[in-house]
């Protein structure tokens, strides 16, 4: 008598908030963000600006953490476009 084994089911990746993989759901401490060099701010500055509402962040478990989405948003806040790409003012 032969036994039949069931096919292995593939679990879908997390799709929470448009995340394509689980790395989008990881929370990083301000120390980790600074150590990796992802943003040019000290851990103290990251905490202070998150607390005063300047930087997007998460407060899971009562601690300030950053997801990749937050890090990208903070980096975009300081992006400067060349003059040739800026919108012309209405007065011109």
DSSP 1-46: ---PPPPPPPPPPP-GGG-SSGGGG--B-HHHHHHHTSSSS-HHHH
For 37-62, what is each residue's pLDDT tens digit? 999 999 999 999 999 999 999 998 89
Domain that holds residue 61: 21-77
- Residue 33 contacts residue 47 (beta carbons within 8 Å): no
Residue 40 is assigned to a structural domain of this protein:
yes
Query: How far is the CA of 69 from the CAs of 2, 17, 62, 88, in angstroms?
Result: 51, 10, 19, 30
Identify the three-state secondary structure at position 77: helix
pTM above 0.75, yes or no: no
Q: Higher model confidence: residue 19 or residue 70?
A: 70
Residue 88 is assigned to a structural domain of this protein:
no
Residue 55 is assigned to a structural domain of this protein:
yes
How many domains does the chain fold into? Answer: 1
């Amino acid at each position: 008598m032969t036994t039949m084994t069931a096919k292995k089911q593939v679990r879908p990746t997390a799709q929470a908030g448009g995340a394509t993989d689980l790395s989008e759901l990881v929370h990083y401490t301000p120390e980790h963000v600074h150590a990796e060099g992802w943003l040019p701010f000290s851990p103290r500055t990251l905490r202070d600006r998150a607390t005063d509402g300047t930087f997007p962040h998460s407060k899971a478990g009562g601690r300030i953490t950053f997801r990749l989405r937050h890090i990208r948003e903070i980096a975009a806040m300081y992006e400067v476009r060349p003059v040739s790409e800026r919108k012309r003012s209405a007065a011109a």
